[in-house]
Amino acid sequence: MHVSYFPQDALLHCDSVVIGEAEPVWQQVLDDYENKSLKKIYKGEPLEDYFSPVFDYFMRVEPSILATSGILLSRGCKYCCEFCARPFGRLRFIKLEQAVKLVEKAIRGVVKPFFWQKPGIIFRDDNIFSDPVYAKKLFKQIIPMGINWVGNSSIDIAFDEEALALAKASGCQELFIGFETIYPEKLKKTSIAGINSLYDYFKAIKKIRSYGIRIMGGFILGFDYYTHKDYLRLLWFIIRSRLYHASLTILTPFPGSLTYEKLNKEGRIITFDWSKYDSLQHVVFKPKNMPVWVLQLWFIFIRIISLLFSPLYLQILVVLFGSYIIFYYVVANLMGSF
């Protein structure tokens, strides 16, 4: 993504850069390399059917690689959030029959700790529910495979009971949903889904969870309209909603995003050291309603408290503590037998 927006940065560390998508120009890159005529910059225009040219290659890849890296069935996004730098532009999908074959191949590479467990698959799509028709067809195709899977989805899946039923039947265990803000009316991708308040969030969460699907929620700290009171409200919502886990990030002006253009124009970006654009440890812009260090403290505080109330964290503690008890019991009995 960064390479496409700032190719000159990348050229300090390599011989050649592909801007955009590689599939349309990759053969040319290889040919030029063999002919010792490699260009500095190649530009790949998005292909509608971007996956067919590389499908045979993926069919030759070791199943374990697909199983561990996850499966990407689409590129692009139907939304245009100002904080997001979309690397793939408009929304496109691989052919359904290709998707099914990828899943079948990935299943063969899954290592199961116990023989009775179902193979687990990760779908890496930004939004598995970008196209409801495609998603439902996919879910129907993978139901007979008997897998468990996790993926990302927009919250509008909560309003489609058929999709939820099919997702669960196909093995969906958990969905990562980007709530982003406690003011959904300010966010295009939630407001168009009929969600205009936190209480609409609660209803959507309850609906998804009623199908036995866990929810991991994503939230961004650092919006201009956030004050200290809003961060307390965010923490209250995370605890009250009983999300399986809350994933928190700091607003980061990634090149290519509208946020980058806005903050750069306003002179509020405080560093262009890209190694600090991690969304987790560094604030790289001047917040509107508080100093940088205060935003960092809010991030740490909310992250710690939300973790303590996270069912995922509690589950991990139970497993670790339970393992310790079992270990202690076994050792104590062995010691007592001598």
Mean pLDDT of 150-160: 94
Q: Is the pLDDT of residue 230 over 80?
A: yes
Which of these CATH numbers, 3.30.70.60, 3.90.1150.10, 3.40.50.720, 3.80.30.20, describes 50-336?
Answer: 3.80.30.20
pLDDT reported for residue 203:
94
pLDDT reported for residue 267:
97
pLDDT reported for residue 327:
55
Spatial neighbors of 143 by CB under 8 A, at least 6 apart, are 166, 169, 170, 171
The structure tokens 């996919």 sit at 138
pLDDT reported for residue 334:
55
Tokens of 313: 């964290």
Residue 337 φ/ψ, nearest 5 degrees:
-85, -10
> How far is 219 from 229, CA to CA, in rounded Å?
16
Decide which of 175 and 58 is more confident: 175
Q: Is the pLDDT of residue 172 over 90?
A: yes
- Structural domain boundaries of the chain? 1-45, 50-336
CA trace torsion 318, 123, 155, 280 (10° rounding):
60
pLDDT reported for residue 192:
56
Q: Is the pLDDT of residue 328 over 50?
A: yes
Tokens of 65: 């690689």
Q: pLDDT per residue over 244-253, tens digit each?
A: 999 999 999 9
- Mean of the per-residue pLDDT values of the chain: 89
Question: Phi-psi category of 185—alpha, beta or left, where left has phi over 0 and alpha has psi -120 to 50?
Answer: alpha
Amino acid at 297: L
Decide which of 323 and 290 is more confident: 290
Q: Is the pLDDT of residue 335 over 70?
A: no
Amino acid at 3: V
pLDDT reported for residue 276:
95
Q: Is the pLDDT of residue 69 over 60?
A: yes
Q: Is the pLDDT of residue 139 over 70?
A: yes
E-strand ranges in the chain read 17-20, 41-44, 74-75, 92-93, 120-122, 148-153, 172-180, 214-221, 245-250
Mean pLDDT of 144-152: 95
Q: Is the pLDDT of residue 326 over 60?
A: no
> How far is 118 from 70, CA to CA, in rounded Å?
16
Q: pLDDT per residue over 51-60, tens digit each?
A: 888 889 899 9
